[in-house]
Structure 1
Amino acid sequence: MTRQGAANGGRERTGRARYRRPALTLGCVVACLVACTSGAAAAGKLFGLKAPNAAKAANPKKTATSPRRSGGGGHQPPSPAVQKATASPGPSAAPARSSSHATAPPSHQAPPLGVSRTVPDSRLPGQVGALFDGSGLSGSHHCTASVVNSPGEDLIVTAAHCLGSTSDVFVPAYHDGVAPYGVWHLQRIVVGAGWTDDSSPDDDVAFAVVAPLDGRTIQSVVGGYTLGIDEGTGGRVTVTGYPATSQDPVTCTNRISSFSSTQNEIYCTGMTGGTSGSPWVIGDSPGTVMGVIGGYEQGGDTSDVSYSVAFGRSVQSLYEEATSSGD
């Protein structure tokens, strides 16, 4: 929005018309002599001249570049980099209307429901991390996963389309090229037959057994979420994930709704390529994961609306298979 002001930065002074009258000729001559001896400023007042205006200060604008729409946070990242909105209006600036796709900068105040923001390093949940290919931190992260509580303390959950082989590695709380809890290798991947045979959207969930690191299990190091089955769509859900073109995760909270009998959906901006597998968490300390970005269109066909398989009996069975001694 632009603000319009007077062209000269103030009120325009309208000069009054001056009429010549013979009876006033002598008075005019005297007035002119007085004006000449009192300087240019008085002359300016006599003839209605206006002083030059000061240059008007520019009105700065705040802009936010919104992420390009991608294939719903799928395995392949979008080509352009995701740009974050980092500027904020000054105290006298008019508030700018943000893009519906924009990701807000970190803030101590919670953003509106459905608006994603970058997670500050100090608030990164240790249970959530990025999935890299076998080259580890020297490669690129393509999906997101999270630790779930299990008897062996060694299990992560993500979308089935995120895991192709055990060569992938999991980096919890990854940020800015740093692996604060180390790089963890996968030992075993568990997916349903519906995904293996037909890549069914209703089976786009996977568990992976994580190998110990320095003699410790992943859950003992970073903790884990409770696995939630048949949680419904009643409460608020927080989604945290790693856009493939960013070195920091984003998070968003909103209410979810039922998309179909087997799929749920959530409106959250900025969930671009790389956020597939991001946990849908309800509750606190640390909470319950009741979904992951995936399912329909491998998570959605826009960056603003994401989907998840509704965790039910089939996911429970998959979890039981993953926690059995099958390796």
Structure 2
Amino acid sequence: MNRAGKRLSTLLSALALSLVAVPAVQAATPGTYWTPERMRAAVPLDVRTADASALRVTVPAGEPASVAPTALPNGGSAWTGGGSVVSTTGRVFFTYQGRNASCSGGAVTSGNKSTVITAGHCVKLDGAYHTNVAFVPAYDNGNAPYGTWNARRTLATPQWDATEDINYDIGAIVVGQLNGQSLTDVVGAQGIAFNQSRAADMYAFGYPAAAPYDGTRLVYCSGRTFNAFLSNGIGMTCNMTGGASGGPWFRSFSEATGAGTVNSVNSYKINIIPTWMFGPYFGADAQNLYDQAQAA
């Protein structure tokens, strides 16, 4: 991992440790832990760095250095279009270092009909996997219209698992059945793709819960992606905040149907450029993680 990647990983850890204090929690019986009150009180988890000296442009081989962000028709507003994105996207809740916290995630088509793609730091951070992990599709201010789906397994790319390398900040959650049904039979599923071009028109979704957002609504951004800073990923103009981490980025997204192809997730932001969001490139390692998750 390069110097910038190590610095960002360190800053990520520092941020997580500085999250607003929440009383330590006790283990609970699966299926009953995430009450509406606990979900509303969960602290948003996300990545930021204010260290301008860490800024380094990483242009992967064969990619043009001139790719730049473009103006957006929407930089972060509540999604009102309906469609399948509403039921397939949700909040991810978990306990991290004795605190209840939240991210975002999305249900994708899979062999086990139970796979949710999210960010790596939404399943593991500072050397330990989170506990009490659950996915709440179509979250609505403490309400779970499609139920609360408890994780039976959480996974991350080998690079995130070993060193929490920001270049591979990708995680997967395999949920158990609920009332005898599998997740995507209930909420539907989005497609997923790997090894695609980096510059594309994309839509990003998530449940940002840090100001000026409050985690109660599904929010989206749209625009053309560009080569990332500090990592080998991609960026997009987007002002979503903490809690949006892990939310899906879609290629070929249809506003009419709310369907698209997941090709990255919300991962990190740079404090001095709060209008940009960055996500990992979905290459071979992301595909291997997905294959492992859908077979679990």
TM tier, shorter chain?
0.5 to 0.7
Structure 1: distance between partners of 2:287 and 2:191: 12
> Are 1:289 and 2:232 counterparts?
no
Structure 1: distance between partners of 2:244 and 2:19: 11
> Are 1:130 and 2:88 counterparts?
no
Deviation at 1:134, TM superposition (A): 5.7
Aligned to 2:203, the other structure's residue is in SS state: strand
Larger deviation, residues 230-239 vs 220-229: 230-239
- Give the aligned partner of residue 273 of structure 1: 242
TM-score for the superposition, normalised by structure 1? 0.60
- Give the aligned partner of residue 154 of structure 2: 189
- Give the aligned partner of residue 312 of structure 1: 283
Deviation at 1:122, TM superposition (A): 5.1
Contact 2:112 2:295 in 1 (8 A): no
The Cα RMSD (Å) is: 2.7
Contact 2:250 2:263 in 1 (8 A): yes
Deviation at 1:258, TM superposition (A): 1.7
Structure 1 residues 316 and 122: alpha-carbon distance in aligned structure 2, compared to 1, 3 A threshold: closer
Structure 1 residues 211 and 77: alpha-carbon distance in aligned structure 2, compared to 1, 3 A threshold: farther
Larger deviation, residues 144-153 vs 255-264: 255-264
- Give the aligned partner of residue 162 of structure 1: 122
Structure 1 residues 75 and 128: alpha-carbon distance in aligned structure 2, compared to 1, 3 A threshold: farther
TM-score for the superposition, normalised by structure 2? 0.66
Deviation at 1:129, TM superposition (A): 0.2
Contact 1:268 1:304 in 2 (8 A): yes
Amino acid at match of 1:290: N
Contact 2:77 2:221 in 1 (8 A): yes
> Are 1:220 and 2:185 counterparts?
yes
Paired residue total: 215
Structure 1: distance between partners of 2:102 and 2:140: 14
Deviation at 1:288, TM superposition (A): 0.3
Amino acid at match of 1:186: A
Aligned to 1:131, the other structure's residue is in SS state: strand
Deviation at 1:248, TM superposition (A): 1.3
Deviation at 1:225, TM superposition (A): 1.2
Deviation at 1:227, TM superposition (A): 1.1
Deviations 1:157-216, CA, capped at 9 Å, x for gaps: 000101133411111011222211011100111112211221101121011101110011
Structure 1 residues 36-185: aligned runs within 5 Å: 112-120=72-80, 125-133=86-94, 142-163=102-123, 164-185=129-150
Contact 1:75 1:161 in 2 (8 A): no
Deviations 1:2-52, CA, capped at 9 Å, x for gaps: xxxxxxxxxxxxxxxxxxxxxxxxxxxxxxxxxxxxxxxxxxxxxxxxxxx
Deviation at 1:303, TM superposition (A): 3.4
Deviation at 1:152, TM superposition (A): 0.8
Deviation at 1:113, TM superposition (A): 2.3
Structure 2: distance between partners of 1:141 and 1:254: 29
Structure 2: distance between partners of 1:203 and 1:234: 18
> Are 1:264 and 2:224 counterparts?
no
Q: Any unmatched runs of 5+ in structure 1?
A: 1-70, 80-110
Deviation at 1:119, TM superposition (A): 2.4
- Give the aligned partner of residue 89 of structure 1: none
Structure 2: distance between partners of 1:249 and 1:278: 10
Contact 1:76 1:142 in 2 (8 A): no
Amino acid at match of 1:289: V
Identity of aligned residues (%): 27
Structure 2: distance between partners of 1:200 and 1:279: 19
Amino acid at match of 1:128: T
Deviations 1:31-83, CA, capped at 9 Å, x for gaps: xxxxxxxxxxxxxxxxxxxxxxxxxxxxxxxxxxxxxxxx8xx868987xxxx
Point out the structure with max Rg over C-alpha. Answer: 1
Amino acid at match of 1:237: M
Structure 1 residues 116 and 77: alpha-carbon distance in aligned structure 2, compared to 1, 3 A threshold: farther
Deviation at 1:142, TM superposition (A): 1.7
Q: Any unmatched runs of 5+ in structure 2?
A: 1-11, 21-70, 124-128
